[in-house]
Structure 1
């Protein structure tokens, strides 16, 4: 299982974190999502088939922005 952390702008509450989590969990290959709201860090655990570009698209479709 691989892991990567991304920064997500626009998350201000638990509802935002839940929305980002749901969006990322819907992406093929994503096994687990952990959100640290204070630092805006989202850690994604995934198998080898995961597509990081799909993560960004999922986050943007949920109304947030990936930083960096």
Structure 2
């Protein structure tokens, strides 16, 4: 399984985390989504992962995304 981590802007609560989890989980190949509100990060696992589709799903959920440091 491959993992990718993203910094996400605009997350403030559990509802935000649920919304992102739902959108990203619908991306083909994604089998695991872990949202860390404290770190403003989302870790996505699966195979194969399409970075562009994951970024689109996060944006579709209404949040900004960048690469995690």
TM-score by length of 1: 0.93
User: Following TM superposition, where does structure 1 have runs of at least 4 consecutive aligned residues deviating by more than 2 angstroms?
Assistant: none
Q: Please give the alpha-carbon distance, in whole angstroms, between the structure 1 residues aligned to 2:35 and 2:58.
A: 12
Gaps of 5+ in 1: none
Count of residues paired in the alignment: 67
TM-score by length of 2: 0.92
RMSD value, Cα: 0.8
Gaps of 5+ in 2: none
Quote the residue 1:4 is aligned against.
4
Q: Please give the alpha-carbon distance, in whole angstroms, between the structure 1 residues aligned to 2:39 and 2:31.
A: 22
